[in-house]
Amino acid sequence: MRKVLLLSALLLLGLIGSQFLPGLIGPAYATVADCVRIPTMAGLAFIMIHVGYEFDIDQSNLKQYGWDYFVAFTTASFPWVFVTLYFVFVLLPPGTWGTLAAWNEMLLAGKFAAPTATGVLFSMLAAAGLSATWLYRKARVLAIFDDLDTVMLMIPIKLLMIGTARQLEVIVVGMVAMLAVAYVCMHKIRIPVTWPWVLGYAVGISGISEVIYQGSKLMDESVPIHIEVLLPAFVLGCVIAYPKSAAKDGAVTSDSHHGYPELETPSERRVAAVVAAVFMVLVGLSMPLITSGDSGGQGGAMAKAIEPTFHGGGSPAAVSAAAGIGAAQQIGRITAAQPPMGWGLIALHVLVITVISNLGKMFPAVCYRKEAHWRERLALAIGMWPRGEVGAGVLIISLSYGIGGPIVTIAMLSLALNLLLTGVFIYTIKRLTQPLPAYG
């Protein structure tokens, strides 16, 4: 567990830096934020390529993946629904409950609770020595589907905010095409897999994603095209063929990296550990600035400066210009009108939001009864709890649309609390699964 403690400390270090660096550096932080965002994307891509190595599909039994997708859909949607309902019926005045603008804003603000921190989770589970377990293999499937669901569910939210847009169609088509490539070419393309090459692939994927994003902003700032690096990096890992020697000797298994003997060398392990450590710091640095009262001022400036991995729409002015007169002009008015809240009450809401959002991730605990012991299933559900870079990106999108006030502050603090508790979650998982009674 020493690796887990180290990674947790690095997360904390990055989170502390995200709160103090903007004040210390001032306006120049926009440049620093770019220096944080781009390596974060590359680090996530590096990790997800490795995850793709270990992913294989039994194409003769596709029904099991349909069930996995449904379970992952619940882990993405239940926390979102629970938090949104809490925001509306607890934090908003009754007079706003029936307004479309209030529901639009809360649906977006509550979305931070949906995505599992995929890169953080895989790094932590590997550091805890769980990469060869049923838990890791199942968490790998659910977490990836979870994040894909989050990205997909952001599309109808944007439709509510700004109306229809061709760019959103491009994103959907691109995601479907990549998934099709992963299925058809699963471990069939033979390219190098050692760390210098993989780092180059990761940087290339991040660079292409950034170029597409920035280019689409020049055409229409209100609805940029951005394919989250998580999916193309994962697909690349999936299509890379196992070495001929490993396949011939029967070394290809579902355990971590067993199909790629090159990845078991000390240098490969060392580089993977360094990338995971740097990624943890960068995820912490990507967190939004936590402020009390009106988040639309200082927090909004931070949103414009940071623009993390999960890119969102443009400024409220750009949104209104693109959507014309309509619901988009109402964005941010409900939350911006909320009065400031004391820190004691904010802390109470943070704890409640954190609990109910994590309860929303618990459905896997009652599934897979024929596959695993109840302790493994409970550990799997807890494994879905960590939040990270994608959830922070959703909050940045909220700020960019003008959503602010105590609600966004509560969401930010809940995200930060979950991030800080990641080490505790992994320790709990380790305790639940070791020693584990024989099952089946």
Give the pLDDT confidence of 8-40 residue by residue, as tens digits. 788 788 878 888 888 888 777 777 777 787 888
State how many domains the chain has: 1
What was the pLDDT predicted at 143?
A: 87
Q: Among 186-195, 269-278, 305-314, 399-408, which is the least confidently predicted range?
A: 305-314
439 within a domain of the structure (yes/no): no
Q: Which residue has the tokens 């929303």?
A: 360
Q: How confident is the model at residue 425 (pLDDT cuts 50, 70, 90)?
A: very high
Q: What is the CATH number of the domain that holds 338?
A: 1.20.1530.20
| 181 or 243, higher pLDDT | 181
Range of the domain at 89: 2-432
| 228 or 145, higher pLDDT | 145
Average pLDDT over all residues of the chain: 77
What was the pLDDT predicted at 41?
A: 83
- Model confidence pLDDT, tens digit, residues 255-266: 444 456 666 788
What was the pLDDT predicted at 86?
A: 95
| 321 or 138, higher pLDDT | 138
> Which two three-digit tokens encode residue 63?
């029904």
49 within a domain of the structure (yes/no): yes
pLDDT above 70 (res 322): no
Q: Among 266-280, 301-315, 338-352, 369-383, which is the least confidently predicted range?
A: 301-315
Dist. CA 408–CA 385, nearest whole Å? 20
Q: How confident is the model at residue 61 (pLDDT cuts 50, 70, 90)?
A: confident
386 within a domain of the structure (yes/no): yes
437 within a domain of the structure (yes/no): no
Closest CA to 150 of 316, 379, 429, 388: 388
Q: How confident is the model at residue 251 (pLDDT cuts 50, 70, 90)?
A: very low
440 within a domain of the structure (yes/no): no
140 within a domain of the structure (yes/no): yes
What was the pLDDT predicted at 429?
A: 94
Are 320 and 332 within 8 A, CB to CB? no
Q: Among 53-57, 153-157, 193-197, 391-395, which is the least confidently predicted range?
A: 391-395
Q: Among 76-85, 141-150, 211-220, 243-252, which is the least confidently predicted range?
A: 243-252
Q: Judge if pTM exceeds 0.75.
A: no
Q: How confident is the model at residue 320 (pLDDT cuts 50, 70, 90)?
A: very low
> Which two three-digit tokens encode residue 438?
């024989």
% of the chain exceeding 70 in pLDDT: 75
Q: How many Cβ atoms are within 10 Å of 228's Cβ, its own excluded? A: 26
269 within a domain of the structure (yes/no): yes
243 within a domain of the structure (yes/no): yes
- Model confidence pLDDT, tens digit, residues 167-200: 677 777 888 898 899 889 988 898 988 899 999 9
pLDDT above 50 (res 343): yes
pLDDT above 70 (res 323): no
% of the chain exceeding 90 in pLDDT: 20
